[in-house]
Structure formats: C-alpha cells, structure tokens
Amino acid sequence: MTRPQPVIGRDNAYYWEGVAKGAVLIQKCTACGSLRHPPSPMCPECQSLDWTTVKATGHATLHSYTICHHPLPPWEEGPYAVVLIDLEIEDSDRRPRIVCGAKGIANEDLRIEMPLSLVFENGLVFAGPAREGGAS
C-alpha cells in the first residue's frame, strides 16, 4: 500500500494545486475579507460565494502534534509525526491552521510554539526547521 494521495474535488482543488506548485493557499472571502480553512464554497461570516486565495508566507508555528506509533502504515518506516501548524499570512493577524507532515525534525525535538518553515515534496506540504526568509 502506498501513501494515500489527496482527495481533490471542485471545492478544494485550489488548495492541492497550490501545494503541488509549492504554496499553501488559504481561501479569502472577496466580500468581507475573512480567511477560512479547510475549504468551503460559502463564507461563514457573510455567506458570500465569491472568494480568492492568499498565499501563506512559509513561516509557521507548531500548534500541536502527535507521533504515530501504531498502526504503522506500510509507507512509513518508524514512528512519524503529524503536525498542526499556525500559518503566517502577510498583512494579516489571522493565523489559519493546516495539518501536515514533518520533515527534518526529530520527533523528540517537537515543541509546541516552535517556529517552522514549509517544505514541499511530491505534491504534499511538510513542516521543517525554521529558516530565514520563508519557504517560497
């Protein structure tokens, strides 16, 4: 069994297409400017169906994490981390969250609130050690 691929539909294609090109895009309501993730066709703040996207800067902080030991999926070689991260968005004080994998950080070094940078690989996004100047 290989690693599952993203499930892509009309409502969320922008997200996975962005990740495949090396950017995390967050939905932004054109009418009221609020940000939302995961994707949804309608703005929960003002019910507008009009939206655009903003690109995460690549800086993030660790909101939470788990280290999965069992069951170990066949595509993993040992205990692996899954992280929940707060994304920095330019010119916004909002910090939308995404779930992703971790890359280049030992499981035991994960600390909530630690700075991270986004890393893109094989159509997926991962959190790696913080770098200067963002990830993209």
Partner 1 sequence: MKASLSGATAIVGIGATEFSKDSGRSELQLCLEACKAALDDAGIAPRDVDGLVTFSMDSSPSIMVGRGLGVAELRYFSLVDYGGGAACATVAHAAAAIAAGLADVVVCYRAFNERSGRRFGSGDAAIQARGESPMAQHFGYYSPYGLITPAAWVAMAARRYMHKYGATSEDFGRVAVAARAHAATNPAAWFHGRPITLADHQSSKLITDPLRLLDCCQESDGGVALVVVSAERARDLPGKEVLITGAAQGSAHDQQMMTSYYRDDITGLPEMGTVARQVWSQSGLGPDDIQTAVIYDHFTPFVLTQLEEFGFCGRGEAPDFIRDGAVHLGGRLPLNTHGGQLGEAYIHGMNGIAEAVRQVRGTAVNQVPDVHNVLVTAGTGVPTSGLVLSAA
Would you count residue 26 as binding Zn ion (CB under 5 A)?
no
Smallest separation (angstroms) from partner 1 to the CB of 65: 6
- Cβ neighbours around 87 below 10 Å, total: 25
Q: In whole angstroms, how close is the CB of 130 to partner 1 at the nearest point?
A: 19
Q: Which parts of this chain interact with partner 1 (CB under 8 A)? A: 1, 3-12, 37-39, 44, 63-71, 73, 75-76, 79-80, 82, 84, 96-101, 107, 112, 124
In sequence order, the β-bridge partners of residue 54 are 26
Our finding on whether 32 is near Zn ion (CB under 5 A) is yes
* Cα gap 74→77, rounded to integer Å: 7
- Of positions 8, 13, 31, 49, contacts Zn ion by CB under 5 A: 31
Length of the chain: 136
23 binds, among partner 1, Zn ion, none (CB under 5 to 8 A by kind): none
State the Cα–Cα distance between residues 14 and 7, nearest whole angstrom: 12
Of 82, 76, 66, 96, give the one whose Cα is nearest residue 127: 82
Per CB under 5 A, residues contacting Zn ion are 29, 31-32, 43, 45-46, 48
